[in-house]
Amino acid sequence: MSSPRGEQGESLLELLIAVAIMGIAVVAIMAGLVTSVLISDVHRKQATAGTAVRDYAEAIQTSVAAEHYVPCASAMSYKPDALVPAFSAPSGFTPSVVAGTVRYWNGSSWQSSCSSDLGLQQLTIQVASSDGRATERVDVVLRKPCGLDTTC
């Protein structure tokens, strides 16, 4: 006697379809997990770079307030070294003053060339991760301390 068709079990085609659906679901879940880990890493690096760039700006301002103002400064004038000793970048991050962003106040507007330094400078500083996933920038305005200027 032959058994009814509904009680013979799964066919090979049904099993292949079930495995394909489960495979697609597993791949989608794993892709979501990998994306989540990657975005979490980028966010952590952005937060670290943001904190570091603010620390760097504060260290530059502290250095200038301690009478280390550099008239007609270049981008290299405020790098973390002997002039800005209070700052040390986190591991895997590079601080810098963005080249071409140092501007000088001429009494009515900011200019990119320094014919005469009236005691105000604007510069953009950045801290970037070594893998390029996070870069944070901040604009800083530096004022020559009154101890260096007899017109205060």
Taking only the tens place, the pLDDT of each residue in 88-105 is 889 999 998 888 889 999
Which residue range(s) make up the domain with 82? Answer: 11-148
142: which strand partners?
Answer: 121
Please check whether residue 6 lies inside any domain of the structure. no
**51 in a domain, yes or no?**
yes
Q: Name the residue among 84, 79, 92, 100 with its Cα closest to residue 46.
A: 92
pLDDT at 151: 56
pLDDT of residue 115 exceeding 90, the answer is: no
Q: Give how many domains the chain has, as a whole number.
A: 1
In a domain, 2, yes or no: no
Asked whether residue 4 is domain-assigned, the answer is no
What are the pLDDT digits (tens) for 15-44?
899 999 999 999 999 999 999 999 999 999
- Cβ(93)–Cβ(127) under 8 Å? yes
User: What is the phi/psi pair of residue 94, to 5°?
Assistant: -120, 120
Whether 113 is in a domain gets the answer yes
| Mean of pLDDT over the chain | 86
Q: What is the pLDDT of residues 61-88, one digit of tens each?
A: 888 888 788 888 888 888 777 667 778 8
pLDDT of residue 4: 58
Q: Is residue 40 one of the residues assigned to a domain?
A: yes
Q: Is residue 52 part of a domain?
A: yes
| Res 70: pLDDT | 86
At 21 the pLDDT is 97
d(CA 48, CA 121): 26
- Cα 5 to its chain centre, rounded Å, is 65
Task: Specify if 65 maps to a domain.
Answer: yes
Look at the pTM and tell me if it is higher than 0.85.
no
Q: Which two tokens stand for residue 134?
A: 């996070």
Pairing type for strands 103-105 and 93-97 reads: unpaired
Quote the pLDDT of residue 54.
94
Residues in the chain: 152
